[in-house]
Amino acid sequence: MLSERRLQVLRAIVQDYVGTEEPVGSKALTERHNLGVSPATVRNDMAALEDEGYIAQPHTSAGRIPTDKGYRLFVDKLAGVKPMSAPERRAIQNFLDGAVDLDDVVARTVRLLAQLTRQVAVVQYPSLTRSTVRHVELLALAPARLMLVLITDTGRVEQRMVDCPAPFGESSLADLRARLNSRVAGRRFSDVPRLVEDLPEAFEAEDRGTVSAVLSTLMETLVEENEERLVIGGTANLTRFGHDFPLMIRPVLEALEEHVVLLKLMGEAGDSGMTVRIGHENAYEGLNSTSVVSVGYGSGGEALAKLGVVGPTRMDYPGTMGAVRAVARYVGQILAES
């Protein structure tokens, strides 16, 4: 177990390195933080921290920089979450309150998050599978062609074409529309399959094929996880990665375009609470020199989707976590109101 002072030294190293982007030495440390001991003592502590793997020297006889393990300890034990100031919170709320629809909420959230953290922001659209159904609409586009429109409580709209095995009359259509809505409106997506499975039985034999087709299309829409959409913003902040950004930026940009990868990454993060993945903790190689801070957000007590930021491992964790948490809360409120 590390002594209290050594933890303080680690904290100071992380803070200084995050601020200056340069390896920090024992002398500078004692000057900037009043640790109450001499550089020589700090040197000993640093040697111990290095033995434990919390910090490293880029080259012999240079200062130390934190390792992923060092950041991990910092995040877990040494740093809290820095709350947003009152004006900041007001600004967040004002900015998000101006949104007119779901797309706008998401777009604004991404912008906001990127600006607040000065990093790359990632926002996942509210997941279909955890939302509830507001309304299901059926439109006859042609005698044997229907359009199925699904509207969620978060304002998301999904539509699919359905080709009917047989012509489907207007009255049958109205009947199906009414029955469908009475069963599923207000229910969670995950419950839908159970709620509608016996629906074909209520119809004449000739219409059952069509009803089944509609239902299976509905299921597909619910299940289709590749429909999990992401919006990304603030990529210009990648240029603030540090001096070696030309090397890092490419794999990161590639990763950001691979929405599948990002979704997996954010999906793996725990459902509740904030998750911080530091450097090599990210399974995806392109993000090995970045940290990902993510948190669930939702209209109720439950998370509908995730949002977060991607930045250099050398980031201001308390500030970033504070911003991410605050934004997630306000977005949740907005969604709950609408």
Partner DNA sequence: GCTGGCACTCGGGATCGCAGAGTGCCAGAC
Partner DNA sequence: GTCTGGCACTCTGCGATCCCGAGTGCCAGC
Least distance between DNA and beta carbon 28 (Å):
5
Q: Strands 120-124 and 305-312, how do they pair?
A: antiparallel
- Interacting residues of 4 by C-beta distance below 8 A, sequence separation 6+: none
Residue type, position 20, single letter: T
Q: Is 79 helix (H, G, I), strand (E, B) or coil?
A: coil
- Residue 15 or 237: which CB sits closer to DNA? 15
Asked if residues 215 and 180 have their Cβ atoms less than 8 Å apart, the reply is no
Residue 41 binds DNA (CB under 7 A)? yes
CA distance 128 to 249: 32
Q: Strands 55-56 and 145-152, how do they pair?
A: unpaired
- Residue 160 or 280: which CB sits closer to its own copies? 160
Residue 246 binds DNA (CB under 7 A)? no
- Residue 151 or 195: which CB sits closer to its own copies? 151
- Residue 110 or 295: which CB sits closer to its own copies? 110
Asked if residues 252 and 242 have their Cβ atoms less than 8 Å apart, the reply is no
Out of DNA, its own copies, none, what residue 333 binds, judged by CB under 5 to 8 A for its kind, is none
From the list 60-68, 124-132, 144-152, 288-296, the region that binds DNA by CB under 7 A is 60-68
Out of its own copies, DNA, none, what residue 202 binds, judged by CB under 5 to 8 A for its kind, is none
Q: Is 205 helix (H, G, I), strand (E, B) or coil?
A: helix
Residue 310 binds its own copies (CB under 8 A)? no
- Residue 64 or 183: which CB sits closer to DNA? 64
Instruction: Outline where the chain has alpha helix (H).
Output: 4-20, 26-32, 39-52, 68-73, 86-97, 102-117, 170-184, 192-196, 205-223, 245-257, 259-268, 317-337
- Residue whose C-alpha is closest to residue 290's, from 333, 326, 259, 247: 247
- Residue whose C-alpha is closest to residue 113's, from 329, 323, 276: 323
Residue 62 binds DNA (CB under 7 A)? yes
Residue 59 binds DNA (CB under 7 A)? yes
Out of DNA, its own copies, none, what residue 309 binds, judged by CB under 5 to 8 A for its kind, is none
Out of DNA, its own copies, none, what residue 157 binds, judged by CB under 5 to 8 A for its kind, is its own copies
Out of its own copies, DNA, none, what residue 101 binds, judged by CB under 5 to 8 A for its kind, is its own copies
Least distance between DNA and beta carbon 44 (Å):
6
CA 88, 91, 97, 103 torsion: positive or negative? negative
Out of its own copies, DNA, none, what residue 48 binds, judged by CB under 5 to 8 A for its kind, is none
Tell me the two tokens of residue 307: 């949002």
Least distance between its own copies and beta carbon 107 (Å):
9
Length of the chain: 338
Residue 2 binds DNA (CB under 7 A)? no
- Residue 62 or 139: which CB sits closer to its own copies? 139
CA distance 53 to 250: 28
Question: Residues in the site for DNA, rule: CB under 7 A?
Answer: 5, 23-28, 36-41, 43-44, 46-47, 50, 57, 59-64
